[in-house]
Chains A and B, each alone.
Chain A
Amino acid sequence: EIVMTQSPATLSVSPGERATLSCRASQSVSSTLAWYQQKPGQAPRLLIYDASTRATGIPARFSGSGSGTEFSLTISSLQSEDFAVYYCQQYITWPLTFGGGTKVEIK
């Protein structure tokens, strides 16, 4: 099983600042990595797939990068609606696995 490790667990950021979230895979997943955003009481929402492709309707302030085992999600200028939990997920092999999540909170 590929283990996905996200860091930090919690990120405190002021509105308007840049946030960078990390995701590490225990073995190479090439570019088969997705990022999701989840707000309290809501279902996850796909932000990024194939490591760097924004999903339909996702603002340009969200960007993904990386390949192999190291990935990052950057939010260039945090808006109030961006405070949420973010998960990465690999889909190169079964079982599909998610990272433990990074909570982005208001500083």
Chain B
Amino acid sequence: EVQLVESGGGLVQPGGSLRLSCAASGFAFSSYAMVWVRQAPEKGLEWVSALTHSGASTTYADSVKGRCTISRDNSKNTLYLQMNSLRAEDTAVYYCAKAAGPGFSGYQYYMGVWGKGTTVSVSS
């Protein structure tokens, strides 16, 4: 069964840091680009970051650029999102998702598999 399981969310004070993880199973993780998408309470979906199958190429939404770092360890089938200088507006459920291909082409960034999400709350 193809599965993505996020972890690492929690309550953090403004200015704090968190590292989210996403454990993948049931597919050839190293062959696919991966994506983080977030959803603030009662709001819509917002793309956060993406990286290619090897991790060599990364992209970020302007809202997190310079504060977040996406990475992956293909030997551990795990995706990460390091989040620093957290703000109240970063409060959201964070989903990891599998892209349709390795990510060489931008036309592969629709997401066919999603995790259940991990909740990040930024508050003092």
Residues of A within 8 A of B (CB): 32, 34, 36, 38, 42-46, 49, 55-56, 87, 89, 91-101
Query: Which 9 residue pairs across A and B have the least CB separation, nearest first?
Result: A34-B110, A43-B114, A96-B47, A91-B109, A98-B45, A49-B110, A46-B112, A101-B44, A100-B44
Q: Mark B90-121, 1 if CB is under 8 A from A, else 0.
A: 00000100001000001111111011110000
Other A-B contacts than A32-B106, A44-B114, A95-B59, 9 sampled, CB-CB below 8 A, are A42-B116, A43-B95, A46-B110, A49-B112, A89-B110, A91-B106, A95-B62, A96-B109, A98-B45
Say what secondary structure dominates the interface of chain A: loop
Answer whether residue B70 sits at the interface, using C-beta atoms and an 8 A cutoff.
no
A-chain residues with CB within 8 Å of residue B28 when the two chains form the complex = none
Once A46-B110, A91-B106 are accepted as A-B contacts, the answer to whether A96 and B44 lie under 8 Å apart by CB is no
Our pick among B37, B46, B112 for the contact of A55 (Cβ within 8 Å) is B112
Closest beta carbon of chain B to A30's beta carbon, Å: 9
Q: B44 near A87 (CB under 8 angstroms)?
A: yes
Query: From B93, which residue of chain A is reached at the shortest CB distance?
Result: A43
B61 closest partner in A (C-beta): A95
Given contacts A87-B44, A98-B46, A93 and B116 within 8 Å (CB-CB): no
Q: Are A94 and B59 CB-contacts (below 8 A) given A43-B95, A43-B117, A49-B110? A: yes
Least CB distance from A59 to B in Å reads 16
Interface residues on B, range: 20 to 34
Q: Are the C-beta atoms of A89 and B114 separated by less than 8 Å?
A: no
The answer on a CB contact under 8 Å between B110 and A91 is yes
- Considering only residues 43-71 of chain B, those with a C-beta below 8 Å from chain A are 44-47, 50, 59, 61-62
- Can you name the residue of chain B whose Cβ is closest to the Cβ of A99? B44
Q: Name A53's closest neighbour in chain B (CB-CB).
A: B110
Residues B47 and A49 in contact, CB atoms below 8 Å apart: no
Chain A residues near B112 (CB, 8 Å)? Answer: 46, 49, 55-56
Task: For A32, list chain B residues within 8 Å (CB).
Answer: 106-107, 110
Q: How far is the CA of A55 from the CA of B115 in the complex (A)?
A: 17
